[in-house]
Structure 1
Amino acid sequence: MELSQQVTTVTAPAQQGLITQFQYNLSVDTLTSIQTFICMLGLITNIINIKTFLAMRAFDDGVTLTFLLLSVSDLFVCFVSTYICVSAFLISQESRWLSKLNSPKSIIHQEQLNGPFFPVEPTYIGIFGHNMFQIFNLITILLTIYLAVARCLCVMYPLKFRNIITVRKTLLVSTIFFLTSLGIRLPLITHSGILLKFDPRINATRYRLWVHPNRETIKDVLWISVDSPVCVGAQVTLSVCIVFMVKVLRAAVKFRLKASVTNNSKLDSNKSNEKLSTKETRIVKQLVLVSTIFIICNTPKILTFLAATIEPGFDLGGRYQNFYQVSVSATVLFDTLNSSVNMFVYYFYNSKFKSIFNNKSETTGSH
């Protein structure tokens, strides 16, 4: 395979733009610290989610199974995000060491050039982690859309679409989502790697990042055809679903109030079949909150895409590279947050989830 030049955009940017190297390091360190805490929270909450949904016999119900698979995807998002935190720390540390070596005020001795550098260039670790992160994050996005759209149809047309989310259909759709997400990122993963080569910056041989000359083209194509449309489309789709589900909720509340006043039992019994039950109302509220959290956490990514579209220098190797990388770090943090807090929504808006969780907690405490 043909190899291109070594890539060192993270550790030695040509131009700093709006953010200096010191400000970049400080920003990344701060975001990484926050992200590490969120990752730990997400790992714990999603493990709890998975155990609880399994106890709820998830494979007997399509909706519960979808929540289980969403929790599994969120768990992998948080796990890979932890990996990214480690790579960001390594990149930041090496960046500081390189800055000291390149400082005109310091007197560099030959033996210092062989100082505490990593045997594998941290940039590759970070790029590989981001590719894996995007695979599972895309699965989370697609499952969230699937769940919201399906439940939106169920509450809008309960007689026609009451059983739209079946176990078999959920397993089939989830498999398609996984294969699609993996297939989309596979070209980027296979068009980069590591190669044992001399690194003049540290005067030593180590495994360094290489990229195929076509990788940037592939990345641009994916950004235009997949990343941007999915990101914006998810935002629009979930927003529309939220609006419709809120309208249905309000209509259900008005109907119950009217039914309690008129006390027409025959009319009530006929219409009540077309209205939301208390259980369905909680499910709708749960989905509305999950979708709202996603929209909030997805907004920084939308803004990053928009900035990159307007300003060509807002990219790796561009004039505003440091600012771009801080923005990317922020989007990863918010994506991780989205995959870490759903347990609290499930606990307060799913009575069965809450009951099983409390019972398990009491059992554990008694032992």
Structure 2
Amino acid sequence: MIMNITIVTREELTLINTIKPVLSAQTHFILANFLISCMLFVASVGIVANTLVIITYIKVGLSETINISYLALGISDLSVSVLRFWTTICFTFHLTNIGLPFDPTTVSVTTGFYPGQGFEKTTAFITAFIALERCLCVLFPLHVRTMVTRRKTIICIFLIYIFVFVPSNFIHMVLPLKWVFNPAQNRTILAIVPLRTPLRYITTRALLAYYGTILHFTALIAVWICTIFLALGLKRKAHIKRDNFKISHAQQDKQKERRVIKTVVMLAVTYLACFTPTAATMLVPHFVPEFESNRGLARISTISHMISGLLAQVNSSANLFIYIYMGSKFRNTFLMLCSKRNPRAQLIANLP
């Protein structure tokens, strides 16, 4: 959204103009439209899926701390899906031609892009918090109930929303929405009127660095470390022999905890698979200057950033399927909710 302003000499400008793009205009157009269609579809799936996740976990109950974290993750992912759908619509389609009382392209910057970045990183840190919580369960199994309580979980999630999402709204201070006259439509519409002060440059650059670098790599590294630790813990527990004919309550609790850890590992692996390529895309321009927007690889850069956005949306849309596959209690509750309209789902839900 924020263009880099670089001063170049006449010779450099001539060289840049003579660089032949790697992708042809036609290929770039086809790929871009395909990715946009995929984005709208996956975002739509995310809206429906996370709404179902929220409803199901409210029905399951919030007596367990992990369910509180899952619910908070569902709320964040739902917000990501809605805002990404809104931003994609505003930037892709020529909505100005239908006479809307606002400028879609500029309005979506402060109402879609920046809040979406805030919720996207909130999802990342909640995922890291869930993984860290399970690590504590593995390290301190006898003390985890006092270390991780409902109150502490709610406070931690609240702080994540405060310190990760809230700063994204600072953009409204330097890119305020105001009513301006639009000569093309011959009427007053709502649009962004950027401040003409150095504060705008400082704020936008700070937000891009905060969300694009600091929070992104902090959450990514934390999830990588916790996921490796949990995977090693699962591998150790896989060697523990269990009596298949007589299972004590303690063994049942261990099996339940193992299923929860597997679910968390799947959530973390999905996050890592979707956001690690984004980190690579962010690092490439530091090593390949031609990857910047004013160079010969501009179209490749655009497509790679679109793919990164699509992967981020996939992460926000996949949780429902992970919960259904891994969580028996969630699956049974979900099927029972569906059985009110589908008798066959009721029969499946009653199966052991």
TM-score normalised by the chain length of structure 1? 0.76
3-state SS of the aligned residue for 2:341?
helix
Question: What's the counterpart of residue 85 of structure 1?
Answer: 88
| Paired letter, 1:30 | F
Question: What's the counterpart of residue 70 of structure 1?
Answer: 73
Question: Structure 1 residue 184 and structure 2 residue 167: aligned?
Answer: yes
Question: What's the counterpart of residue 304 of structure 2?
Answer: 327
Question: Structure 1 residue 124 and structure 2 residue 109: aligned?
Answer: no
Contact residue 285 and residue 291 of structure 2 kept, 8 A = yes
**Among 138, 144, 158, which residue is 1:161 paired with?**
144
Question: What is the CA-CA distance between 1:57 and the residue it aligns to?
Answer: 1.0
Question: What's the counterpart of residue 53 of structure 1?
Answer: 57
3-state SS of the aligned residue for 2:336?
helix
Question: What is the CA-CA distance between 1:337 and the residue it aligns to?
Answer: 0.8
Question: What's the counterpart of residue 147 of structure 1?
Answer: 130
Contact residue 290 and residue 345 of structure 1 kept, 8 A = yes
| Paired letter, 1:34 | C
Question: What's the counterpart of residue 27 of structure 1?
Answer: 31
Question: Structure 1 residue 279 and structure 2 residue 250: aligned?
Answer: no
Where does 1:198-209 land on structure 2 (aligned, <5 Å)? 209=192
Change in 2 beyond 3 A, CA 1:29/1:88: farther
**In structure 2, C-alpha distance between the alignment counterparts of 1:172 and 1:301, rounded to whole Å:** 30
Change in 2 beyond 3 A, CA 1:153/1:116: closer
**Among 336, 350, 359, which residue is 2:336 paired with?**
359
Question: What is the CA-CA distance between 1:244 and the residue it aligns to?
Answer: 1.3
Does 115-124 or 144-153 show the bigger shift? Answer: 115-124
After TM superposition, which residue ranges in structure 1, 4 or more long, deviate above 6 angstroms? Answer: 115-119, 202-206, 272-276
Question: What's the counterpart of residue 118 of structure 2?
Answer: 135
**Among 226, 234, 246, which residue is 2:231 paired with?**
246
Contact residue 324 and residue 331 of structure 2 kept, 8 A = yes
**In structure 1, C-alpha distance between the alignment counterparts of 2:211 and 2:92, rounded to whole Å:** 29
Question: What's the counterpart of residue 291 of structure 1?
Answer: 268
Question: What's the counterpart of residue 317 of structure 2?
Answer: 340
Change in 2 beyond 3 A, CA 1:349/1:82: same
Question: What is the CA-CA distance between 1:302 and the residue it aligns to?
Answer: 0.4
| Paired letter, 2:60 | M
Question: What is the CA-CA distance between 1:345 and the residue it aligns to?
Answer: 1.0
Q: How many residues align?
A: 323
Question: What is the CA-CA distance between 1:27 and the residue it aligns to?
Answer: 3.1
3-state SS of the aligned residue for 1:294?
helix
Contact residue 45 and residue 340 of structure 1 kept, 8 A = yes
The one-character-per-residue Cα deviations of 1:6-65 (angstroms, maximum 9, x if unpaired) are: x999xxxx979555655544333211100111111111111111111111112x221111
The one-character-per-residue Cα deviations of 1:217-260 (angstroms, maximum 9, x if unpaired) are: 33333343443122222222212212211221222222326xx6
Contact residue 124 and residue 194 of structure 1 kept, 8 A = no
Contact residue 193 and residue 210 of structure 1 kept, 8 A = yes
Contact residue 74 and residue 137 of structure 1 kept, 8 A = yes
Contact residue 43 and residue 82 of structure 2 kept, 8 A = yes
Contact residue 156 and residue 248 of structure 1 kept, 8 A = no
| Paired letter, 2:105 | T
Question: What is the CA-CA distance between 1:130 and the residue it aligns to?
Answer: 0.9
**In structure 2, C-alpha distance between the alignment counterparts of 1:253 and 1:62, rounded to whole Å:** 25
Question: Structure 1 residue 40 and structure 2 residue 25: aligned?
Answer: no
3-state SS of the aligned residue for 1:290?
helix
Question: What is the CA-CA distance between 1:330 and the residue it aligns to?
Answer: 2.3
**In structure 1, C-alpha distance between the alignment counterparts of 2:53 and 2:102, rounded to whole Å:** 36
Change in 2 beyond 3 A, CA 1:357/1:19: same
- Structure 2: where are the runs of 5+ without partners? 5-15, 347-352
| Paired letter, 1:235 | L
Question: What is the CA-CA distance between 1:295 and the residue it aligns to?
Answer: 0.4
Question: What is the CA-CA distance between 1:360 and the residue it aligns to?
Answer: 1.9
**In structure 2, C-alpha distance between the alignment counterparts of 1:360 and 1:246, rounded to whole Å:** 33
Contact residue 115 and residue 169 of structure 2 kept, 8 A = no
**In structure 1, C-alpha distance between the alignment counterparts of 2:288 and 2:85, rounded to whole Å:** 30
Change in 2 beyond 3 A, CA 1:215/1:324: farther
Percent identity, please. Answer: 20
| Paired letter, 2:163 | T
Change in 2 beyond 3 A, CA 1:17/1:248: same
**In structure 2, C-alpha distance between the alignment counterparts of 1:275 and 1:361, rounded to whole Å:** 28
**In structure 1, C-alpha distance between the alignment counterparts of 2:74 and 2:188, rounded to whole Å:** 38
- Structure 1: where are the runs of 5+ without partners? 1-6, 95-114
**In structure 1, C-alpha distance between the alignment counterparts of 2:150 and 2:57, rounded to whole Å:** 14
